[in-house]
């Protein structure tokens, strides 16, 4: 495909006008909620100092807004926010608040100038909270108006909005805009929408609120479709995507902003505020701070993405575009060969060259057989030292 970026090798079908032409050419920006929604991952507790470290990394990544925490319910979040405020980050710091005056007062105390304000929107959520539509509407209008009087920029966040009655959802959006909210979020709280439904709803919301009101999308990954849903939201007119690093979050996690940035840029040529070369570093920092490991095959950040064991693939290793959809350089990763049960003669040659080991042509097959035998015995990959030892042992045997 004749992609504007020579490090991207995706299908030419992506460039067809009926596909690419459906996407706006406006820049998409990211609102990161790793420090709030991401910390809701079961068992994860981030200290204020860890949150500051992550915030600095998010800032380097190019994230435009960082949701710094929910200070009314967490003194540790309030401390973390103060640390971030003193760090002179380029990214905007946002708070999180319920439609409760006390929550907004805590934002005012801390000097936060922007926040999402949430309220339940679906009848299911209202029933769970024991609230009526009239009651929640009154609460959210009062909270937004109070925030506005205190010069706080508000993005309204209707919880479970994708399962709300459309007439009531529209009423909520229009009421909060009249009360002083500046932006709105389409919230798929439990990942209940497919991409087509997200596109339909986001387009509808964009029509309701008009072109001057920025629309966000906040999705979850319960059906493994959070990235696809975020892409659909952009196609429908969303200019902000909310999500987390590594897709961490409650249940199946949030939308992974790094995956979304990669897909928008590489598949659809949509401009994004995101430095892909720093993603893997940021991913590792968040993973270590959170105390969990990532799948080795996870898109963009998995450790195996540019590692080749299969002999059939190793034979094509010299032409990266034959075996990869984008260059390792795009995400600052290292390509390498590893040796195991599935290795071939080309794998042995490439590993020998990498390590500066000369292997006689008549010994290649013997070395490969020994590599496979060793890998099967240990049920894993060989270390470089094990490979060196095999070559040395075979070379020492008189022919």
| Tens digits of residue pLDDT in 330-360 | 999 999 999 999 999 999 999 999 999 999 9
- What is the chain's length? 399
- Please give the tally of structural domains in the chain: 2
Please list, in sequence order, all residues whose beta carbon lies within 8 angstroms of the beta carbon of residue 18, skipping any fewer than 6 positions away. Answer: none
Q: Which of 317, 262, 385 is nearest to 8 (CA)?
A: 262
Residue 219 lies in a domain: yes
Please list, in sequence order, all residues whose beta carbon lies within 8 angstroms of the beta carbon of residue 114, skipping any fewer than 6 positions away. Answer: 65, 92, 93, 94, 95, 152, 153, 154, 155
Q: How far apart are CA 77 and CA 73, in angstroms?
A: 8
Helices (H) and strands (E) in the chain, counts: 16, 10
How do 29-32 and 65-69 pair as beta strands?
parallel
pLDDT digits (tens, 9 = 90+) for 210-266: 999 999 999 999 999 999 999 999 999 999 999 999 999 999 999 999 999 999 999
Residue 6 lies in a domain: no
pLDDT at residue 5, rounded to an integer: 62
**Whether residue 106 sits in one domain with residue 241:** yes
**Whether residue 201 sits in one domain with residue 152:** yes
**Whether residue 316 sits in one domain with residue 286:** no
Residue 40 gets which letter from DSSP?
A: G
3-state DSSP call for residue 287? helix
Phi and psi torsions of 241, nearest 5°? -115, 125
**Whether residue 313 sits in one domain with residue 268:** no
Q: With contact defined as beta carbons under 8 Å apart, do 36 and 96 qualify?
A: yes
Among the candidates 290, 320, 348, a domain finishes at 290
**Whether residue 348 sits in one domain with residue 234:** no
pLDDT at residue 3, rounded to an integer: 55
**Whether residue 355 sits in one domain with residue 261:** no
pLDDT at residue 37, rounded to an integer: 96
Among the candidates 265, 290, 315, a domain finishes at 290
User: Which residues of the chain have a pLDDT value below 50?
Assistant: 1-2
In the chain, DSSP assigns E strands to 29-32, 65-69, 92-98, 114-120, 153-159, 183-188, 215-219, 240-243, 307-308, 336-337
Among the candidates 259, 290, 321, a domain finishes at 290
Residue 7 lies in a domain: no
pLDDT at residue 82, rounded to an integer: 97
3-state SS of the chain: helix, strand, coil percent to 5? 50, 15, 35
Residue 101 lies in a domain: yes
pLDDT at residue 2, rounded to an integer: 47
**Whether residue 193 sits in one domain with residue 250:** yes
Range of the domain at 345: 307-396
Residue 296 lies in a domain: no
pLDDT at residue 4, rounded to an integer: 54
Dihedral sign, Cα of residue 8, residue 12, residue 13, residue 15: positive
């Amino acid at each position: 495909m004749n992609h504007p970026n020579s490090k991207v090798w995706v299908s030419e079908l992506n460039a067809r006008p009926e596909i690419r032409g459906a996407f706006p050419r406006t820049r998409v920006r990211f609102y990161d909620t790793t420090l709030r929604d991401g910390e809701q991952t079961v068992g994860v507790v981030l200290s204020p100092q860890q949150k500051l470290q992550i915030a600095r990394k998010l800032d380097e990544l190019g994230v435009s807004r960082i949701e710094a925490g929910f200070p009314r319910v967490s003194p540790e979040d309030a401390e973390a926010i103060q640390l971030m405020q003193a760090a002179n980050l380029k990214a905007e710091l946002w708070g999180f608040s319920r439609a409760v005056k006390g929550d907004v007062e805590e934002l005012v105390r801390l000097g936060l100038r922007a926040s999402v304000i949430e309220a339940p929107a679906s009848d299911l959520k209202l029933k769970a909270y024991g609230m009526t539509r009239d009651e929640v509407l009154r609460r959210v209008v009062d909270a937004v108006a109070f925030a506005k009087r205190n010069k706080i920029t508000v993005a309204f966040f209707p919880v479970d909005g994708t399962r709300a009655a459309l007439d009531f959802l529209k009423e909520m959006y229009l009421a909060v805009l009249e009360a002083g909210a500046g932006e709105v979020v389409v919230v798929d709280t439990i990942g209940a929408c497919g991409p087509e439904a997200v596109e339909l709803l986001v387009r509808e919301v964009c029509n309701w609120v008009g072109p001057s009101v920025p629309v966000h999308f906040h999705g979850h990954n319960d059906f493994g479709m959070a990235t696809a849903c975020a892409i659909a939201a952009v196609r429908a007119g969303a200019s902000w995507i909310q999500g987390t690093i590594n897709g961490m979050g409650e249940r199946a996690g949030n939308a992974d902003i790094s995956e979304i940035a990669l897909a928008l840029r590489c598949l659809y040529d949509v401009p994004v505020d995101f430095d892909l070369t720093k993603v893997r570093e940021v991913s590792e920092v968040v993973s270590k701070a959170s105390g969990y490991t990532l799948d080795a095959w996870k898109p963009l950040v998995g450790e195996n993405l540019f590692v080749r064991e299969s002999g059939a693939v190793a034979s094509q290793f010299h032409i990266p575009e034959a075996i990869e959809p984008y260059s390792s350089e795009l995400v600052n990763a290292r390509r390498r060969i590893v040796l195991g049960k599935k290795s071939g003669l080309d794998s042995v040659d490439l590993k020998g060259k990498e390590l500066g080991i000369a292997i006689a042509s008549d010994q290649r097959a013997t070395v490969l057989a020994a590599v496979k035998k060793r890998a099967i015995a240990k049920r894993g990959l060989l270390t470089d030292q094990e490979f060196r030892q095999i070559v040395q042992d075979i070379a020492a045997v008189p022919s």
